Amino acid sequence: MTENPIVAELPGSRTEVLKKLVKNNITGMPVVKIADGTLAGFVTRQDIFSKPEEEQLALVMKRDYPTIGPNASVKDAARLMVDNNLSHLPVVEKNKLVGILTPTDLLIVVEKANVQIAVEEIVRSPCIPIYAGAPLAVALATFRSAKVYALPVLDDEAKLVGIITDRDIFNQTVVDRTVVMSDLGISDEDDNWTWEGLRNVMKLWYEVSRVDLPKLCVKDIMIKTPMTVFRKTLVGDAARTMRKNDFGQLPVRDSKDNLVAMIYDIDVVSTLTK
């Protein structure tokens, strides 16, 4: 686990959470009570996106969020993550937060376990490809409706030619950084906010402000010739590729280079529950 994780405090505000997400380039954090430091819940950027007009943290965060103890097994942690589709799992001892786990933390466990399971056997998430010539607006709508954050890109012959994530779209949009920060209630008087961190909350700004996307196609900004795995690739090898390259997902292809699936880090972690 990661000890001493960054936290939000209750009572608190959406703006305070946004500032911490931006400053630390993270997508979610535990919420603790100021009075006694006990865990009160969890808040992610998705929680904020779903209630963009709500300023009170208490009305945005998730209460009764799953937790685990520091002495619990990795298998139990993996099961909690997979069953609840979690990207973060707070570690709690005597009602006090002592750490946090993410799927990335468990990839090295999968890698060392040397499980003899092929990637194609553990795919859990849908594979939603997009055409290279599709406008960015279509890609963004696909992310939203399919509830995924990465899309494999196919050409005219349905061959895999790239991958695009929601952050790729946000990063290409021509906007005035100062205006975005102002709209989000963020000031850079005290801290040096980074654009990389700001991208974590860009989606909120788009949802609220209805900003027009640049007139580009997916092929203009996609990552070309993406790293992939074969359907028969062992899960441990896929975990190693993800961990070393800091990838949250990988396209899966067959021996003829046809796209057959997308595998996510939480899919890989699911092997620890067996």
Report how far residue 154's alpha carbon sits from residue 263's, in angstroms, rounded to the nearest whole number.
Answer: 17
- Please check whether residue 243 is in contact with residue 268, taking contact to mean a CB–CB distance below 8 angstroms: no
Superfamily assignment of 119-167+216-273 in CATH?
A: CBS-domain (3.10.580.10)
Q: What is the pLDDT along the chain (274 residues), one digit of tens a residue?
A: 999 999 999 999 887 887 787 677 777 899 999 888 899 999 987 787 667 678 899 999 999 999 999 999 999 999 999 999 898 999 999 889 999 999 989 999 999 988 789 999 998 777 899 999 998 888 877 887 787 778 999 999 999 999 998 767 655 543 445 555 665 565 655 455 555 566 556 555 554 444 456 678 999 989 998 999 999 999 999 999 999 988 888 999 888 878 999 999 999 999 998 8
Q: Per DSSP, what are the bridge partners of residue 165? A: 150
For domain 2-101, the question of CATH label 3.40.50.300 is answered with no
pLDDT at residue 204, rounded to an integer: 54
Whole-model pTM over 0.85: no
The reply to whether domains 2-101 and 119-167+216-273 share a CATH topology is yes
pLDDT at res. 72: 96
Strand 150-154 relative to strand 160-165, pairing:
antiparallel
Beta-carbon contacts of 180 under 8 Å, excluding residues fewer than 6 positions away, are 198, 202, 205
Take residue 160 and report the two structure tokens written for it.
């895999």
Cβ neighbors of 172 (< 8 A, separation 6 or more) are: 136, 214, 216, 220, 221
Parse the chain into domains and list their residue ranges.
2-101, 119-167+216-273, 170-209
